[in-house]
Copies of this chain bind each other. A is one copy, B any other.
């Protein structure tokens, strides 16, 4: 973990630090395009071919045959009966908090009379067919199932299909239990680019979805990007990249807490990025010492160590400089381990989810505080929100004019239509007021 001093960097060096390690999507696009095209043409058969090639461990090859990519009712029942009681309770508690927080997001309709005789309104509708991708590479993630499944359920999506890879031909109990409590009945044991293609293009027997949600590795992300610009494909929640955290810590922060937070992000994968900002050089040094202490104890030490190599700390003159940098970086997760953290909320412009004060580690938001953990990475927090109930809905506007209303607006519309050279637009108004 390199250390920089804000005041010693030029503006362009600072901007350089806000850039994530480059992902060469062009190369990844080349690899996955043939997979997408194959699935588009050959459907499930192609999907199974790639699943066997990429996902199945050698001794289980052939686990997918016929319809068995679909989790059966029996498998759901088995998971419900056999899931560890402690894990089941934890999933239930997390789900309850996530529901509580997300319920408030259901958007409200409204109607107003813009001028007499013209009533305009807006209503929301659930997206009918959605697909959720739950990664399963280096960790199986029931929490992601809740973070996507619960808002889909609250939005009222008619059909929710799920894809998650399986090396063994089975899906683990906690993940299936989490799917069950989200009301999921359609769960495919498929991962990777081929899963995204299956959801985007469908098959004779599997209806395509309209929008795909969920994080994934670079193949999954690249596949989502490509289907999102294909008119035959599907919309996507957001372009996702490797997970990241930025921590702003002042001299009041407990170094061991901050180090633990940095590591909890770093263990996600070797491509994760963690950034530490502080107005106190002494605090930074203590935190770096703590990192070394804590690193030894971790199962996923190798991932974390590599992630730390892509990471840096930045010593600023004051907290304003820190917030300035943070907003330019636009982190997925932002931890404010500073005194009176809540007072600084207005200084946060670009971030996915924010953790305030010393008792708010990122992991509470990853699992159970109630906020969503599907968040914009790679600087996309400048324009994207985390997944919410609204992500599973869209709005429709309505207008109802009576004859009086049309009269009141007629000359405005006719004048503008004429100014834009659009006769027929004008005529559609005039013809109604002739008689």
Contacts and interface: CB of A to CB of B under 8 A. Distances in A.
Interface of A: 20, 22-23, 25, 84, 86-87, 89-91, 93-94, 97, 100-101, 104-105, 110, 112, 114-115, 118, 120, 122-123, 125, 127-128, 139-143, 174, 210-211, 225-226, 228-231, 234-235, 239, 241, 256-257, 260-261, 263-264, 266-268, 294, 297-300, 304, 341-342, 345, 348-372, 376, 378, 380-386, 388, 390, 394-403, 405-406, 409, 411-413, 415-417, 419-429, 431-432
A128 B349 contact: yes
A399 B356 contact: yes
A104 to B, nearest CB: 5
Contact of A409 (B349, B368, B383, B409): B368
A345 B396 CA distance: 10
A348 B396 contact: yes
A402 B298 CA distance: 26
A425 B114 contact: no
Contacts of A263: 424, 427-428
Nearest to A99: B114
A363 B123 contact: no
Contacts of A20: 231
B382 A127 contact: yes
9 closest Cβ contacts across the A-B interface? A114-B370, A90-B415, A361-B428, A235-B383, A356-B400, A363-B425, A225-B229, A371-B397, A385-B395
Contacts of A353: 396-399
Nearest to A22: B231
Given A93-B412, A354-B397, A231 B372 contact: no
A267 B425 contact: yes
Nearest to A406: B359
B413 A25 contact: no
A400 B229 CA distance: 38
A174 B87 contact: no
Given A363-B426, A363-B429, A431-B256, A421 B299 contact: yes
Contacts of A349: 125, 128
Contacts of A174: 419
Contacts of A268: 422
B118 A427 contact: no
B267 A364 contact: no
